[in-house]
Structures are given as structure tokens and as C-alpha cells.
A and B are shown apart, each in its own frame.
Chain A
């Protein structure tokens, strides 16, 4: 079934069928990634621009691999090398790039809503690779794909997102997507890092990590993003670690078989202890591999849409 959506701006309001189609399609691309030649000619002749106004390594590499494995032509554009420093507006940058006849834009930008804005000023297909603390839809899609791969379903599963919820686009996209797919979602973290009224999105709040561990099938542990905190929300990393770190010792005390996910990059032994990150219940590397397949699915579905 073709997607209803023309762009991928976020998972808020995305129809269940569209999410389902993306996850089902990603299965086909997982198979392509197992072949000796991990490349298909599907997007031959399409040009995709990766527009990264914020630094990113893994998301950009994952998108670029996905694009190249679909045989698209790829142009990379990062803020530090660009005319942004010369004062050009986002609209002008985008229009200039579009004048060069491109088909799709993958954008990361610090401003929430920038992807939506972009989709209104250009004709090309827009894929949001993270807009401030708003959404990061492909990360949530690959998280959902990875969960579904392990559990065979999303419906009825209990997923707790742990960490800095207030500043996290990964958390928000996961909440929207998982709720649409029928999963139960909770968040856990210090109250300074949990948005007021988050219960209105249909999520439960845990203030104790032990409670979250008792409740959940899966913990999705977020990176404590020191670089994103312009004000001080945490007294210290030591304190965060003391109350919220997911450690082997803690898991042994509560429940040891819980599935662990993390969008990366990990602050080892801050939010997640090294033995848990590398442990048998960790899906972290699976997430990375699935990320390429899920992004191929999104690019394919949006890039060949009539």
C-alpha cells in the first residue's frame, strides 16, 4: 500500500497503515543488506541532499548508506562548510538547492518545526532527520522495527523511555509511533527532565528506575545530552548515575531479562553501564543495522510515490 504521507516530518498523526507499511517494507531491505552486493538500482537517477545544520555522525552516515544502497545520487551539505555562516536563511538555502533539481532533502536542524517549514517552501520530498527537541521519526521507526523483530509485535508491549525526556526528539517520536501501534509507553527520569503534562500523550511517568524496570518489557535508554542543556537541569552526572543509571547490579536486583535499547552514542557508565550495553539483552547494534534498512524503506516509499 502506498503511503498517504508525501513527506516524513514526524510520527505525530501518521496513520497506523503508513507506519505498518514502512516497517513491512524495511523487512525486504534487511534481506538486501545480507546480500554480497548490498545495492539495488531502485532510486537510480534521483538526487538526494543531506542538509545537516547540526552535527551528526551516525544518522548522517546511516542515511547516506541507505541512499547509496538504493543507487541515488547523494550530495552532503553541513552547516560549518556552508553559507549559513554567511547569514543565508533556511528558505534561501533550500530554494537554492532546489534550483539544482533535487528530488529529496534529508534535513537535521536545531529549530523545531524546521522540517515542516521546509516542506512548505520547496517541492522536493522532505525527510526530517531531527528538528530540535521536536521529532526524529526515522529513529523511532527503527526502534519500533527492532522491537517488532525481537517480539514479533508492538501491540501490548510495555516500553519505558529513560532519561532526559524534555530535550529528546527520540522520546517524542517514539511516544507518538508506539502509541499509534498499540504499545504501552512510560517515561522515567528526574522530574526536571520530564515535561509537565506529558501524561496527556497517554504515557505513564515513573520517577524511580526500579519501578520502570518492574513495569517494562523494554527500556529505551536515552543519552544524557550535556551539550544540549543550556540551563542546568541536573545537579551532577554523579547524581543522575546514582538514581537513574541502568546497571547490571540494579537489573539483577529487580529483573534481569529486560530488553535494553539505546539510540546512541552511549555515555558509557553514565546512563547505561558497559556490561548492560554489551550484554545479551542489548539490541543496540541491531538498532544500528536496522536503521539503514528502515531508512531505505522510507526513501523507497517516498521516492517512488506517484
Chain B
């Protein structure tokens, strides 16, 4: 049996996004050169929400792109189950822009490695900064986030489940403890 603990409820989820938006603006001294790139699936919705918050704070529209890192995964060679390709959708030139790369959970760092490789194939950004809702540790590559919603120390047999209104019907983050044999 898996047990589930709530880490962020709807209200704190919202507050966390507002704080991330402020931190991003503070560090970049405004939104002038910023673009957001969300990693599919939940990074897409996080990016769109953060863009909306930035717009509310700065009264400036900020462009959002979507990244599908499937073609850059390092485990395709291992012939696991084939992931569905949803496609990358970035309708602006990334060169010279400050990119905020957004994902829901930072874990091994392998997704971010793939995302960085894909982004630099599309041009030469001025900078790439990483924003994640949850950092759960257990890195396998030298990658760290610039903006973190919440740090959660986890064990490897726990799973962090981020839910969002757009796909799951409600906002929230749960820590799920898996018992032997589940993963």
C-alpha cells in the first residue's frame, strides 16, 4: 500500500508560484529580455501560470515556449517503453534571450541535461536559468536549480506527485511512499 502526504495544498501552491515569479524578476531586474520555456507535460502549465503572474506584476506579456525532450533522452537506447512524442513548440528565436527553463520536479537532472542540449541546438541564448516547483534531491548529474519552489528531502522509494488543475483537476503536491516492488 502506498501512503500519501500532502506537501503543498492549493493555497500554498499559488503562493509558491507568486514567489517564484518575484524571484525571477528580481534576479533578472525585470522581464525585458525574459522568455519562459516549460518542459512538457506539467512544466508547460507551470510556465504559463508563472508568465501570467509576471504579467500581473510587470504589466508585460512574456513569451512561453514548450519543450518536448523525448528526442534527447539518454534512455531511448535502452528500449524501454516508447514515449509519445508531443513535439517542441517554440515560436521565437532563443538567441540572445534570457531563458527561464521550467519543470515540475528536479530529480536526477537527466531531463534538464536533455533540455539544455535541445535549447542550444535552437540557437545561442544569453543565459538559461532553471526554475522548478520541487527539488527532491538525488542528482546524478552536476545540475542545480536557480529558483526552487520547495526543497523536499526524499528517499528513492518515494515519489513526488505534482497535480495541476489543467491536467489533474486540482493543484497540489503529494509525497507518495511506495512499498517494496512498486515504482
Decide: A300 and B77 in contact? CB cutoff 8 A.
Answer: no
Instruction: From B9-17, B24-32, B82-90, give the one contacting chain A.
Output: B82-90
Task: Tell me if B88 and A45 are in contact (CB < 8 A).
Answer: no
Q: Which of B96-104, B117-125, B150-158 faces chain A?
A: B117-125
B85 touches A306 (CB 8 A): no
B80 within 8 A of A: yes
Fill in one digit per residue for A12-47: 1 if any B CB lies within 8 Å of its CB, else 0: 000000000000110110011001110111101100
Nearest chain B CB to A283's CB is how many angstroms away?
22
A300 touches B122 (CB 8 A): no
**Interface check B71, CB cutoff 8 A:** yes
B126 vs chain A, min Cβ distance (A): 16
Cβ of A304 < 8 Å from any Cβ of B?
yes
A2 at the B interface (CB under 8 A)? yes
- Cα A300 to Cα B84 in complex, Å, equals 11
Select B71's contact among A27, A300, A306, beta carbons within 8 Å. Answer: A300
* Contact bitstring B118-152, A, C-beta under 8 A = 1, else 0: 10011100000000000000000000000000000
Decide yes or no whether B44 CB sits under 8 A from chain A: no
Interface pair A42/B76, CB less than 8 Å apart: yes
A304-B87 contact in complex given A40-B71, A40-B121, C-beta closer than 8 Å:
no
Whether B87 pairs with A27 at a CB distance below 8 angstroms is yes
Q: How far is the CA of A300 from the CA of B68 in the complex (A)?
A: 15
* Contact, CB under 8 Å: B82 / A35: no
In the bound complex, do residue B121 and residue A300 qualify as a contact, i.e. CB atoms below 8 Å apart? no
Range of interface residues on chain A?
20 to 34
Say whether A41 contacts B122, CB under 8 Å. Answer: no
B5 interface contact, C-beta 8 A = no
Give CA–CA (A58, B5) in the complex, Å. 58
> Are A42 and B123 closer than 8 Å at their CB atoms?
no
Q: List residues of chain B with CB within 8 A of the CB of A45.
A: 77
Assuming the contacts A37-B122, A304-B76, A304-B79, asked whether A31 and B71 have C-beta atoms less than 8 A apart, the reply is no
Give the interface SS of chain B, mostly helix, strand, loop or mixed: loop
> Min CB distance, A96 to chain B, in Å?
25
- A contact residues around B117 at 8 Å (CB): 41
Residue in B closest to A36 when the chains form the complex, CB atoms: B123
Q: Which residues of A contact B81 (CB under 8 A)?
A: 2, 306
The smallest beta-carbon distance between A177 and chain B, in angstroms, is 20
From known contacts A28-B86, A306-B79, infer whether A35 and B121 are also in contact, taking CB-CB under 8 Å: yes
| Interface residues on chain B, number (Cβ under 8 Å) | 20
Chain A contacts for B87, CB-based, 8 A? 27-28, 31
Asked if residues B89 and A31 are in contact (CB atoms below 8 Å), the reply is yes
Most A Cβ at <10 Å: residue of B68, B72, B77, B88: B77
Specify which chain B residues have a CB less than 8 angstroms from the CB of A24 in the assembled complex.
Answer: 85
- Are A36 and B122 closer than 8 Å at their CB atoms? yes
Chain A residues with CB under 8 Å of B118's CB are 40
Check A28–B68 contact: CB distance below 8 A.
yes
Given that A27-B87, A28-B88, A31-B89 are known contacts, is A41 also in contact with B72, CB under 8 Å in the complex? yes
With A36-B121, A41-B71, A41-B117 known to touch, is A305 a contact of B86 (CB < 8 Å)?
no
Q: A32 to B88, alpha carbons, bound, how many Å?
A: 8
- Chain B residues, CB < 8 A from A100: none
Q: Within the assembled complex, what's the spacing in Å between the Cα atoms of A301 and B85?
A: 10
Cβ contacts under 8 Å, B68 to chain A: 28
Task: Report Cα–Cα, A49/B179, bound state, in Å.
Answer: 46
Give the CA-CA distance A35 to B65 in the complex, in Å.
14
Contact A300 B85 (CB under 8 A): yes
Q: Please determine whether B72 and A40 come into contact, CB atoms closer than 8 angstroms.
A: yes
CA of A122 to CA of B146, assembled, Å = 51
* Shortest CB distance B172–A (Å): 29
Q: How far is the CB of A6 from chain B (nearest CB, A)?
A: 12
What is the chain A residue whose CB lies nearest that of B80?
A306
Question: A109-143 CB contact bits vs B (8 Å, 1 = yes)?
Answer: 00000000000000000000000000000000000
B14 to chain A, nearest CB (A): 33
A1 interfacial by beta-carbon distance below 8 Å: yes
CB neighbours of B121 from chain A (8 A): 35-37, 39-40
Q: Are B85 and A28 in contact (CB under 8 A)?
A: yes
Quick one: closest B residue to A40, CB to CB? B71
Q: How far is the CB of A19 from the nearest CB of chain B, in Å?
A: 15
- State which of A1, A301, A305 has its C-beta within 8 Å of the C-beta of B79: A305
A-B contact pairs, 15 of them (CB 8 A): A1-B84, A24-B85, A28-B86, A31-B87, A32-B88, A35-B122, A36-B122, A37-B122, A40-B118, A41-B71, A41-B72, A42-B72, A44-B77, A300-B71, A306-B81
Closest 4 CB pairs of A and B: A28-B87, A40-B71, A2-B82, A37-B121
